[in-house]
Structure 1
Amino acid sequence: IDEIEALSSIYGDDWCVVDGDEKIYCIKINDCLDQPKWTLCLQVILPPGYPASEPPIYQLNAPWLRGQDYMELANSLEEIYVENLGESILYLWVEKIREVLIEKAQSSDPEPDIKKTSEEVDDDDDGDGFLLGYQQIQEDPITIVNYTASESQEVDEELPSIHHGNPITDRRSTFQAHLAPVVTPRQVKTVLEKLYENKKIASATHNIYAYRIYCEDKQTFLQDCEDDGETAAGGRLLHLMQILNVHNVLVVVSRWYGGILLGPDRFKHINNCARNILVE
């Protein structure tokens, strides 16, 4: 609550409470120019475990924000969360987004399409405009994968369908994500065994995975992750799933090492592979 009061005080009219009871908030961020060219709406939902154990659930909304721009900004926000576990991070997120918008305004990036930008909330709008912004966010074409128990728990032992994402290759290292709907730890084990039957997947340098299963009766999440030798990669993958608020899903990211060290870039590729398959 202290964090929300502080943000409301700092950002004034740009900060909006969409639903105080559900802890849904929206903030309009711009590039700080007298006549802003680049603007973006950040909507956050604060779960009960925030900030101690759960990240905010967020949506980024701007007509120009697509593809690589979306990936890079989302990665930056997730890095901030991972680096500040257990701490309040909304101010850091807002200022990171503002920094990106200022960079865009100062660079040679073409201005966003004026017609599209006009769909956003007008500077002179009153608070009701934010509700329109919030509805636009809800209608964003990016759809997150979530499976309910009824969709996948017909027979516990039955092998769930496994989906394979598009591979990403960088400096001879290749990354590929695999996804399956799961509602029990036994299904997780069954899917992993099935994946490892594939000689190419079994021969990967690392098979990093994470899963989240929502237990309806206990109103809690059963979740776990595995680094498979890639230090902290499983935990990062699980954090991504928490931030995207996905459940009843297992995500495995295979990496085939190509002989050239990638440094921190390897985590970006793991994240991007996982996010791509979750939002496809």
Structure 2
Amino acid sequence: MVVVLSRAELLRNGISGSALSRRVAAGALHRVLPAVYSTTPPSYEDRCRAVLVWKPHAVLSHDTAAWWWGLLSNEPHLVHATVPPSASYRGPTWCVLHRRDITTVVYRETLPLVTAEQCFVDVATTLNEDALERFVDHALTRRMRWRAVARACDAVRVMHGVPAVREQLRRACPRTLSEPERLVARALARRNFPLEINGEVGPYYGDLVDRRGRVIVEIDGREFHIDAYTFTQDRIRQNHLILDGWLVLRYSAATAMARTDEVVEQIITEVRRRRKARA
């Protein structure tokens, strides 16, 4: 078990300053931060704990808090924490401290974090646009409610990052079942032409649905359509929808990924044509 300890704790346990230096030199202790040590080479979690030992008033935030909340699937490269505006520090390049007052702190596995909703505003200042889109879509699909994030934006409306989050919420595409579907849905939203995602049509569901024009867009991944039963059921489903007056546009996942703009242009053209014809 990894233990993260401060220099003061080690001295209180009877380890002298010279003995401490010898243990670090021998690899029995690892210096993580100024006056903070771990008993084994530190993992990302250990570095988070070390930051809180180093700065007792710190709160994990930004990408780090989002990761602890399960909103980011990949472990961040940096440890982000927020400290009071008056704090000062000089630490390693893997640690970023942000200065602001934190009004609400939530504990997860004994660690102080900003709220999950606050993470949306925080990561808007650290992630690029594509990464922020993926973060918002996946987080709203799996764990967070749109209204809860919107209320958090209202509560901290003057913070840097709020405008970007509001724009992301306006164009968010949660509930997409694959990355190609999400890319097409997002591209449509950027054209101010959003379609219903994973919409129910009778006994079936469509990846993207326009009810006014009775158009269904399907993004087909090979892995989901390769067996004989699925192949047959797809044909039965498509025939049923066509006979019921629906236009079904189908694209392979590879095409949707490689030629997103062309796919989106064709979808918009056909949906507009169908809406006009049905009107």
State the TM bucket, normalised to the shorter chain. Answer: under 0.3
Give the structure, 1 or 2, with the largest relative contact order (CA under 8 Å, sep 6 or more).
1
Q: If the length of structure 2 is used for normalisation, what is the TM-score?
A: 0.26
Query: Which structure is larger by alpha-carbon Rg, 1 or 2?
Result: 2
Q: Which structure has the highest helix share of the two?
A: 2
Q: If the length of structure 1 is used for normalisation, what is the TM-score?
A: 0.26
